[in-house]
Homo-oligomer: A and B are copies of this chain.
Amino acid sequence: MGKEKVAIIGSGNWGSAIARLAGQNVAKHPDVFDQRVPIWVFEEEFKGKKLTEIINTTHVNEKYLPGIQLPENIVAVPDLVEAIKGATALVFVMPHQFLGRIIEQLEGKIEKGVKAVSLIKGVDVKGSEIHIFADVLEEKLGISCSALSGANIASEVATDRFSETTIGYRKKEEGELWKKLFETHNFRVDLIDDVAGVSLCGALKNIVAVAAGFIDGLQYGNNSKAAVMRIGLIEMKNFCQEFFENVKMETFLEESAGVADLITSCLGGRNRKCAEAFVTQKKPFDVLEKEMLNGQKLQGIHTAKEVYTFLQARNRAGAYKLFDKVYKISWEGMPVEQLTEGL
């Protein structure tokens, strides 16, 4: 058997942090991995230079992860098809909005037997259909796709703070491979046979983080915040068990991807912060997105809308009371004080 050739697709904050670990680990396991790890970088100018050139000369992604040295075997490549050429193990790590275009470029160019892992947050909703991105990748590209998610603020992982993550796998040996690629002394990887659960946690927790931010804005205190987080965790689990097959309850209640990531997101995180500002500053979310996120989308409220649309289409609106409230407060002008009514 030849060595695994890793390629990383996406080079934002999280992509760069995870590339750093992957670069270190392929060097540690030269028997398993090819030593060169291409990372596809959406080419842009930063301070008058091309971002790929900056990365390949300074070994720092100065735009998205400044101050953090990347291993020299991480090679920035501006052309997507070139970046993945010959790769046997693909890491997808980018905002889900870009996935459609990436898949178009990759269709027909990926060989049989290639494995992938999705670090993409979110869900793909079309009417009464809902899909995780690992399934989208499997279907469109014919590859076997795992998922990685956990309590992983990129800046903390990048500075080797103790943290944990969860990989949901289809085949145990694929899970083991991804673990070998990502695990370090201070970045512990747990494996579980649940791609859907791991993926969905990463999307749905953002809705709960918005609710937690509302509670912070209302200054209701820690009892209320803990109650909303508990209810949110149960709704996450119930939602996944209702609409996806073979989802494991442990993923939500025991894994880093579940309870721990929920905690991190409700303690810090942009969803919590913007939702708090929504209450205290009384500005609509589109204004807050511009002011606080440089115009980036606030994931939690958009996921809340997608989930609401989906539940409507399935005639299940109202069965998930907290998700429902977050949608109605964010998008339909429901007074935020009604958040805890009837939960």
Question: Which positions in A face B, CB cutoff 8 Å?
Answer: 151-153, 156-157, 161-164, 186, 188, 220-227, 229-230, 233-234, 253-256, 259-261, 263-264, 267-268, 340, 343
Contact = CB atoms under 8 A, between A and B. Distances in A.
Contact of A254 (B188, B224, B234): B234
A259 B253 CA distance: 9
Contacts of A268: 222
Nearest to A157: B223
B253 A153 contact: no
Nearest to A227: B164
Nearest to A234: B254
Contacts of A188: 227, 343
A210 B254 CA distance: 20
Contact of A221 (B161, B256, B340): B161
A224 B161 contact: yes
B267 A225 contact: yes
B340 A162 contact: yes
A255 B259 CA distance: 13
B223 A163 contact: yes
Nearest to A220: B161
Contact of A267 (B157, B226, B230, B234): B226
A227 B259 CA distance: 9
Given A259-B230, A259-B259, A222 B253 contact: no
Contact of A223 (B222, B229, B254, B264): B264
A239 B165 CA distance: 23
A164 B340 CA distance: 11
A222 B151 contact: yes
Contacts of A162: 220, 223-224, 227, 340, 343
A234 B267 CA distance: 20
Contact of A230 (B152, B221, B229, B254): B254
B224 A156 contact: yes
A224 B260 contact: no
A227 B166 CA distance: 11
26 contacts: A151-B223, A151-B230, A153-B221, A156-B220, A156-B222, A156-B224, A157-B223, A161-B220, A161-B223, A161-B224, A162-B223, A164-B223, A188-B227, A188-B343, A222-B264, A222-B267, A222-B268, A225-B263, A226-B261, A227-B260, A229-B259, A229-B260, A229-B263, A230-B255, A233-B259, A259-B259
Nearest to A163: B223
Contacts of A220: 156, 161-162
5 nearest A-B residue pairs (beta carbon): A163-B223, A253-B253, A151-B226, A230-B260, A162-B340
A264 B163 CA distance: 21
Contact of A226 (B226, B233, B264): B264
Contact of A163 (B227, B261, B263): B227
A153 B223 contact: yes
A249 to B, nearest CB: 8
